[in-house]
Amino acid sequence: MKPILYFVVPCYNEQEVLPVSYRLFTDKLSSLVGLGVISDKSRVLFVDDGSRDNTYAVIKELAEKNSMICALKLSRNRGHQNALLAGLMAAKDRCDITVSLDCDGQDDINATDEMIKQYLDGCDIVYGVRKNRKTDSPFKRRSANLFYKLLNAMGAETVKNHADYRLLSRRALEALSHYKEVNLYLRGMVSLVGFKSTCVYYDRTSRIAGESKYTLGKMVSLALDGITSFTVKPIRIITAVGFIIAMISFIGIIWSVIAHFVGDAVSGWASTVAIICFLGGIQILSIGIIGEYIGKIYLETKHRPRYTVEQEINMD
């Protein structure tokens, strides 16, 4: 039986891009259906992530004209990762495979052909990996490199230069649905899911229109989630540093006692103050990092819903 494919495409304030880019998805679906690779029940699922512009109206109009298009509208902006998860979970019971990608035409849609081939060869997860970062600004390129280095040093499993362009089988989606965490870093969660996986390499181009919706703040917050949701190594490092400092202080105490009895003691005001400041600094830093984790525990224990679907189009 031919698999049913759903393209899952989160959109936030994309009214300039969608009227052009939707064709990429529908044309690809039509051609794959025509070639007999996928079922004609395949769809493009747009998830409107609480856009403030006319994105949803645009999607609605497209869906009226083309029954291949269906959509979800989130009740407010919940960020790319939540919007994507909302789409994947809605697609889970309706399809055999999902391919998630940006709506701005940056991810080369032709890589989907190879992804489906890998799926038919038995892979449950196929990661889309960028060949290079030529189309990124120097700042984004450097910060991304630093981010992957940091994540690896911290021991979190990541596929380098893979963002959220990936194929997931129904089985992988089912497994993913059992992860109930609130702080989402999907590419890390998908690695945890396991199953047979592989990579497909593609060139990432510039946006068709509009500007990036990933502000610096959103990128930093994603990076923080990537680290703090997947590894406790920062706490271990702090513990190790604390241990070393304690040992040094201990030697310092012995040294000062000996100096006292030898009658060599000077009024070491400066060194005392320096040590107090240094230890104070380390302690505050430690408390800050531990606080990060406690903050996460706090949020996780709330079990808040990650999104609320407000409306549906062609979802039956």
Contact residues for ligand UDP (CB under 6 A)? 10-12, 14, 49, 77, 79-80, 83, 102-104, 106, 212-214
Closest CB to Mg ion: residue number: 102
Q: Which residues pair with 99 in a beta bridge?
A: 7, 167
Contact 2, 36 (CB under 8 A): yes
Nearer to ligand UDP, 212 or 249 (CB): 212
Contact 305, 74 (CB under 8 A): no
Task: For Cα atoms 53, 55, 60, give the angle at the middle one, nearest 5 degrees.
Answer: 135
Nearer to Mg ion, 80 or 170 (CB): 80
Residue keyed to tokens 């940006």? 102
Nearer to ligand UDP, 80 or 162 (CB): 80
Nearer to ligand UDP, 175 or 222 (CB): 222
- Choosing among ligand UDP, Mg ion, none, which partner's interface includes residue 170 (Cβ < 5 to 8 Å by kind)? none
Query: Shortest gap between Cβ of 97 and ligand UDP (angstroms)?
Result: 20
Helices (H) and strands (E) in the chain, counts: 10, 8
CA 265 from chain centre, in angstroms, equals: 57
Query: Shortest gap between Cβ of 13 and Mg ion (angstroms)?
Result: 12
Nearer to ligand UDP, 103 or 115 (CB): 103
Question: Among candidates 64, 88, 250, which has minimal Cα distance to 174?
Answer: 88
Distances (CA, A) of 164 to 138, 186, 304, 315: 21, 8, 23, 23
Closest CB to ligand UDP: residue number: 212
Query: Shortest gap between Cβ of 226 and ligand UDP (angstroms)?
Result: 14
- Choosing among ligand UDP, Mg ion, none, which partner's interface includes residue 130 (Cβ < 5 to 8 Å by kind)? none
- Choosing among Mg ion, ligand UDP, none, which partner's interface includes residue 96 (Cβ < 5 to 8 Å by kind)? none
Question: Among candidates 72, 9, 73, 2, which has minimal Cα distance to 41?
Answer: 2
Distance between CA atoms of residues 183 and 298, nearest Å: 11
Nearer to ligand UDP, 8 or 172 (CB): 8
- Choosing among Mg ion, ligand UDP, none, which partner's interface includes residue 214 (Cβ < 5 to 8 Å by kind)? ligand UDP
Query: Shortest gap between Cβ of 4 and ligand UDP (angstroms)?
Result: 22
